Amino acid sequence: MKMTMARREAVEGYIAISPWILGFILFTGGPILASIAISFSEWNFIEPAKFAGIANYTALFNDPLVWQALKVTTLYTIAAVPLGIVFGFWLAILLNQKIALLAVWRTIFYLPALVSGVAVATVWIWVLQPDFGVLNSLLREIGIEGPNWLFSQTWVIPSLVLMSLWGVGGGLIIYLSGLQGIPTEIFEAAQIDGANAVQRLFAITIPMMTPILFLQLVTGLIGAFQVFTSAYIMTKGGPGNASLFYVLYIYRNAFEYFDMGYAAALSWLLTLVIIATTLLVFWSARFWVYYDVDIKDF
């Protein structure tokens, strides 16, 4: 019996995407299922895994470092994500003007986003060094004695938040595409009606950019909850666990303490936190995100 055209197209489609399906099963879907099984076991890489029931999940709630890691990660997220959005959006507005060498300026501000996390962390260790670092040296020039930054429990998180602003140019292309998608007729009409630049910003630009801001908020939150490189390279979680980010704690349990079952349970707790936060942001979108269609229909 000859294959129908629709069935043939379906078969050809599945054949075309089969490399992706195979890769997903082997490198994403498979490890996800394996991590669920590992989270219910005791496994130290050397001896065979033993079923532990919900012991790993019970231990989470009695581990003070879990709450410390969640606290550190949450504080960093609350500070870094809004600041990153504000500075990135402000930079995009500046680079959306008609100025000389515009392409050069856009390239300059975007380039830091291309530098690897390890390289950025190494540079900022030098910048934030309290005795001979660049930042404190500049502060001394104006008569201010800078803090110990990475060596202070009070200043270590603000230091890492400050460092995170290095990469705000990463969202520059997305912001610029959104800004350039706003019809110029709206601005012209508002200007004729007497609206100044600030009024046009808050009445037109920001409302029309809320879908882009929403996207940046969601991706920023997910990324901030998974911070690892900067803490691992720059502070190792110190001083006094003041920069013990959650993913760093997962790494410690998995590859320093060789407690892979507990590390997998920690990972799934983080997954649930990220999912809950993301759903909360999606729920809030109906109150502040503007679309061409009614947000209730989204």
**pLDDT reported for residue 169:** 87
Is the per-residue pLDDT at 1 higher than 50?
A: no
Residue type, 154: T
Which helix (H) or strand (E) element contains residue 41? strand 41-42
Task: Read off the pLDDT of residues 187-243 as tens digits, 9 standing for 90 and up.
Answer: 889 888 888 989 999 999 999 999 999 999 999 999 999 999 999 999 999 999 999
Q: What is the DSSP letter of 245?
A: -
Q: Please state, in angstroms and rounded to a whole number, the distance separating the CA atoms of residues 92 and 185.
A: 20
Whole-number mean pLDDT of the chain? Answer: 91
Give the three-class secondary structure for 42.
Answer: strand
Q: Is the sign of the CA dihedral 247, 249, 254, 259 positive or negative?
A: negative
Residue written as tokens 């089969």?
18
Predicted TM-score of the model (pTM): 0.90
Q: Please state, in angstroms and rounded to a whole number, the distance separating the CA atoms of residues 254 and 64.
A: 18
**pLDDT reported for residue 6:** 78
Residue written as tokens 């060789």?
258
Distance between start and end Cα atoms, the chain: 44
Using a pLDDT cut of 90, give the percent of the chain over it.
70
Instruction: Classify the phi-psi angles of 257: left when phi > 0, otherwise alpha if psi is within -120 to 50, otherwise beta.
Output: alpha
What does the pLDDT average to over 123-137? 93
